[in-house]
């Protein structure tokens, strides 16, 4: 027998369904992750210590530090608990130094410190590329950073697959096993910048991070074209270059990647920043790595920030007597480059020079005094066209197996500068 529904029951049913849909739409519009399979993680709580970090970044710019795969070689990945303890100690040290951002390796060799649909797990974690460590390291790192009060930027090397013999073997599911995607040099294996398939792979890998994790930024460093040799990509140049010179064609290949990644990041999450840290010597960027940094800094649509690696001290001179690369001179030179509205310029500072020096032809003890980095920060802060800094790298400040007293003094001076 056909069951009849009263008008009142029909009204109640419609009202209930409407309220459920209204609540779901409301969650989505506010960025709250609804139950079920979605592409975006729950948003981070922007209150408390994390909110303070965001406010500090907005007001004072980048106060950051790089944490590379080299640091991870001394981190205990054997269990979730041990890993979390090590990361917590590292991030606490960064926070206590007055920093607001950690730039952490997420994909150093076409592999991943997170669960990826495109790239195998990093060999750094287990000794074998592609082996699941049993938990998600990047999820732990982001949660820890935000709880402590630090922004988290995922550091990606877009082209590098193998540096000399590191890693020794590529996983069977590594996309670089498809040899048509790569080029090989004396220094290792790299994805071929000339290929649209490579640009798409790199972009999809970045979007995966932005959609699946609450990162505050995505960071590329200076590994672009690995060599200047003509035979590196001569067949592709013959096929695709049109009327461009080899040099201009290579630069355009990299430009297309950077522009594509930037657009994809903003489409996935407009609040996530995309930044690039090129070499401090911009002649090398343009002529050897085929990266047009002035374009990326001077026009919108390529990057949210540029952070050149100014890894020389105040007293640095070349054999010819040139002091162009001395920190004060070179930071000023960079500050005079055209900046598009909204694009920031940070300085990468070479903490790894502590104790050892920077190879200056003119002798100097500036890297033995214990306050060189803080002095560089002061110069950066005094220049209104410069917006912040990051230190390379964590071990250079906190690994006390060498130059313990000098490193401790540098940490103290940086802390006093940031918190003063």
pTM for the whole structure: 0.90
Higher pLDDT, 44 or 88: 88
pLDDT score, position 44: 74
On the question of pLDDT at 74 being above 80, the answer is: yes
Q: What is the pLDDT of residues 179-229, one digit of tens each?
A: 999 999 999 999 999 999 999 999 999 999 999 999 999 999 999 999 999
Q: What is the pLDDT of residues 12-31, one digit of tens each?
A: 344 444 433 444 344 333 33
Which of 33-37, 146-150, 320-324 is predicted least confidently? 33-37
Asked whether the CA dihedral 105, 109, 112, 113 is positive or negative, the reply is negative
Higher pLDDT, 298 or 3: 298
pLDDT score, position 40: 64
pLDDT score, position 365: 97
pLDDT score, position 39: 54
Longest dimension (CA), the chain: 100
Contact call for residues 84 and 92 (beta carbons, < 8 A): no
Q: Percent of the chain beyond pLDDT 90?
A: 88
For 29, residues 6+ apart whose C-beta sits below 8 A from its C-beta are: none
On the question of pLDDT at 377 being above 70, the answer is: yes
Average pLDDT of the residues in 352-377: 97
Q: And the tokens for 330?
A: 């070179």
Q: What residue ranges define each of the domains in the chain, with the CATH number in brackets?
A: 46-419 (3.20.20.80)
Q: Which residues of 69-100 are buried (b: 16+ CB within 10 A; e: fewer)?
A: bebbeebebeeeeebbebbbebbeebbebbbb
pLDDT score, position 47: 80
Query: Nearest-CA neighbor of 108 among 127, 92, 123, 130?
Result: 123
Q: What is the total residue count of the chain?
A: 420
Q: Compute the mean pLDDT over every residue in the chain, rounded to the nearest whole number.
A: 91
Give CA–CA dist 303/229, Å, rounded. 28
Helices (H), 313-403: 327-335, 372-382, 394-398
Higher pLDDT, 54 or 46: 54
For 208, residues 6+ apart whose C-beta sits below 8 A from its C-beta are: 116, 117, 118
Contact call for residues 160 and 110 (beta carbons, < 8 A): yes
């Amino acid at each position: 027998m056909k069951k009849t529904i009263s008008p009142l029951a029909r009204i109640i049913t419609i009202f209930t369904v409407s309220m459920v849909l209204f609540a779901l739409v409301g969650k989505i519009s506010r960025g709250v992750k609804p139950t079920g399979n979605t592409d975006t993680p729950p948003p981070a709580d922007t209150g408390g210590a994390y909110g303070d970090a965001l406010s500090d970044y907005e007001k004072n710019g980048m106060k950051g530090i790089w944490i590379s795969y080299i640091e991870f070689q001394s981190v205990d990945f054997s269990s979730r608990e041990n890993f979390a303890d090590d990361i917590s100690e590292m991030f606490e040290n960064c926070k206590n130094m007055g920093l607001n951002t950690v730039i952490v390796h997420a994909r150093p060799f076409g592999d991943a410190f997170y669960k990826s649909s495109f790239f195998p797990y990093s060999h750094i974690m287990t000794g074998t590329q592609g082996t699941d460590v049993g938990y998600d390291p990047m999820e732990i790192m982001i949660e820890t950073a935000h709880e402590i009060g630090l922004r988290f930027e995922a550091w990606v090397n877009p082209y590098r697959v193998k540096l000399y013999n590191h890693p020794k073997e590529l996983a069977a599911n590594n996309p670089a096993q498809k040899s048509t995607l790569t080029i090989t040099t004396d220094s290792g294996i790299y994805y071929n910048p000339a290929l649209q398939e490579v640009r798409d792979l790199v972009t999809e890998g970045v979007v995966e991070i932005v959609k699946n994790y609450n990162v505050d930024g995505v960071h590329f460093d200076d590994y672009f074209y690995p060599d200047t040799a003509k035979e590196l990509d001569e067949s592709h140049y013959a096929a695709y270059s049109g009327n461009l010179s080899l040099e201009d064609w290579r630069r355009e290949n990299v430009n297309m990647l950077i522009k594509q990644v930037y657009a994809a990041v903003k489409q996935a999450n407009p609040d996530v920043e995309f930044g690039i840290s090129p070499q401090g010597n911009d002649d090398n960027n343009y002529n050897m790595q085929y990266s047009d940094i002035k374009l990326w800094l001077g026009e919108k649509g390529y990057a949210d920030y540029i952070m050149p690696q100014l890894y020389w001290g105040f007293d640095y001179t070349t054999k010819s007597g040139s002091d162009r690369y001395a920190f004060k001179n070179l930071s000023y030179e960079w500050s005079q480059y055209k900046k598009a509205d909204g694009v920031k310029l940070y300085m990468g500072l070479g903490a790894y020079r502590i104790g050892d020096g920077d190879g200056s032809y003119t002798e100097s003890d500036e890297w033995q005094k214990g306050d060189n980095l803080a002095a560089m920060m002061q110069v950066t802060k005094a220049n209104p066209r410069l917006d912040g800094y990051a230190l390379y790298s964590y071990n250079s400040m906190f690994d006390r197996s060498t130059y313990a007293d000098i490193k401790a003094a540098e940490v103290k001076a940086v802390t006093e500068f940031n918190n003063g």
